[in-house]
Chain A
């Protein structure tokens, strides 16, 4: 079983849909992150949670809504997305808040039509 699991692997949604991305980590880490990776761009940090509290929101539009019910699970709720939101969304976790190795999931490839 991989350390960080993301579902679904692929998602196609219309601009009026509502969907959620799920991330689960089995590493006993205390910090979890959402990153966005668009073509030809460096990874962009979206949200950071440390011990289930959001510690960083990197100016992300409100159509992206994170949720961290416990230290093992992280969700990204999506609604009324735009085509430019199509990207690879990566979840990561680390033992401490940005002071230890980041471990990434396989990512969700999102296409907004």
Chain B
């Protein structure tokens, strides 16, 4: 299976700051998703982004499949953005998703 590496493992921000989270894959993926897990354990799907760029409010994501990475941008961070951000990738559409170990984000007021 593929290897997924997320960076940084931990990130502490002041409210209002911007940040970039990165996900590297050992192989080209054809199915890439970003998730946010809040402090209560709920996992929310942020983006389904096999390639290209998508934006949703203050969040945006870019995947460059041929370069084997994806980036998640958080602008004007808020305390409610705190939690763990996971990326997950699959080699082909229909193959198992492999999750990274996550980036623990803390946004302080």
Q: Which residues in A have some Cβ–Cβ distance to B below 8 Å?
A: 41-43, 45, 48, 56, 88, 90, 92, 96-104, 106-107, 109
Complex CA–CA separation, A104 to B98 (angstroms):
15
Complex CA–CA separation, A100 to B31 (angstroms):
8
The reply to whether B41 and A88 contact each other, CB–CB distance below 8 Å, is yes
User: In the complex where A43-B86, A43-B99, A45-B96 touch, is A106 in contact with B48 (Cβ < 8 A)?
Assistant: no
Q: Which of B50-109 contact A (CB under 8 A)?
A: 86, 88, 90, 93-102
Tell me which residues across on chain B come within 8 A of A96, comparing CB atoms: 94
Let me know if B24 is at the binding interface, CB within 8 A.
no
Tell me which residues across on chain A come within 8 A of B93, comparing CB atoms: 98-99
Q: Which residues in B have some Cβ–Cβ distance to A below 8 Å?
A: 4, 31, 33, 35, 40-45, 48, 86, 88, 90, 93-102
Complex CA–CA separation, A56 to B90 (angstroms):
15
Q: Which residue of B lies closest to A58 (CB)?
A: B96
User: Which applies to chain B's interface (DSSP): helix, strand, loop or mixed?
Assistant: strand
Complex CA–CA separation, A56 to B95 (angstroms):
11
| 25 A-B residue pairings within 8 Å (CB atoms) | A41-B101, A42-B4, A42-B98, A42-B99, A43-B99, A48-B96, A56-B96, A88-B41, A98-B31, A98-B97, A99-B93, A99-B94, A101-B33, A101-B45, A101-B48, A102-B33, A102-B88, A104-B42, A104-B43, A104-B44, A104-B45, A106-B41, A107-B41, A107-B42, A107-B43
Tell me which residues across on chain A come within 8 A of B35, comparing CB atoms: 102, 104
In the complex, the 6 A-B pairs of residues with the closest C-beta atoms, listed nearest first: A104-B43, A99-B93, A101-B48, A43-B99, A42-B99, A101-B45
Complex CA–CA separation, A9 to B43 (angstroms):
14
Tell me which residues across on chain B come within 8 A of A98, comparing CB atoms: 31, 90, 93-97
The reply to whether B43 and A45 contact each other, CB–CB distance below 8 Å, is no
Complex CA–CA separation, A69 to B97 (angstroms):
24
The reply to whether B43 and A97 contact each other, CB–CB distance below 8 Å, is no
User: In the complex where A98-B90, A102-B97 touch, is A42 in contact with B102 (Cβ < 8 A)?
Assistant: yes
Tell me which residues across on chain B come within 8 A of A99, comparing CB atoms: 31, 93-94
Complex CA–CA separation, A33 to B88 (angstroms):
15
